[in-house]
Amino acid sequence: MSQGHRHEEGCCGEGSGDRIEAAVLRMKEKAMRVTSPRLVMLKVLAAAKHPLSAEQLHEAAGDDKLDLVTIYRSLGAMDDAGIVQRHPLERGRSLYALVTPGHHHHHVICRRCGRIDRLPGCDTSRLEAAARTKGYAELTHIMEIYGICPACTQSNHA
């Protein structure tokens, strides 16, 4: 089911308290209600060192404290509000991370163990400009790099 997701270095966390406050502020701006399930979610997300799946968030929150459905719905609302960034990936799964404005970035994901590492920056501006030229508006993008991580390359049970 849930894969390894081991992690060596920091990835998405940047300092949690402020980020939660910022998220709450944004929720209020958007007329969203600040409920305890959502606060729990924010806490977990702020503490996460890499993007989390709804399922992982569910487990991290205590599994029976929050309904998975609530997580999906709130994640959706937070995505719309720009509070979390959704990373759709292969096989229909998505991962979610707290947005830190000015820290847009992407990840490498190990195809074998699920480990995730952060990569600096993002080079989509040229492509988005091209899309704009074609008349497209409200552009967003998804991008993930896949590979085999060092550890899995070693222990070559392929």
Sorted by sequence, the CB contacts under 8 Å of residue 75 that are 6+ apart come out as: 41, 54, 57, 84, 86, 96
Per-residue contact flags (x/-) with DNA for residues 56 to 95, judged by CB under 7 A: ---------xxxxxx-xxx-xx-------------xxxx-
Per-residue contact flags (x/-) with DNA for residues 96 to 135, judged by CB under 7 A: ----------------------------------------
Q: Is 81 in the site for a second copy (CB under 8 A)?
A: no
Minimum distance between the CB of residue 131 and a second copy, rounded to whole angstroms? 4
Q: Is 136 in the site for a second copy (CB under 8 A)?
A: yes
Residue 123 interface partner, choices DNA, a second copy, none, CB cut-off 5-8 Å depending on type: a second copy
State how far the Cα of 109 lies from the Cα of 118, in Å rounded to an integer.
9
Question: What is the size of the binding site for DNA (CB under 7 A)?
Answer: 28
State how far the Cα of 4 lies from the Cα of 62, in Å rounded to an integer.
18
Written in H, E and C, the secondary structure of 43-103 is HHHHHCCCCECHHHHHHHCCCCCCCHHHHHHHHHHHHHCCCEEEEECHHHCEEEEECCCCC
Site for DNA in 18-57 (CB under 7 A): 28, 31-38, 53-55
State how far the Cα of 117 lies from the Cα of 108, in Å rounded to an integer.
5
- By the criterion CB under 8 A, which residues form the site for a second copy? 88-93, 106, 108, 110-111, 117, 119-124, 126-128, 130-131, 134-150, 153
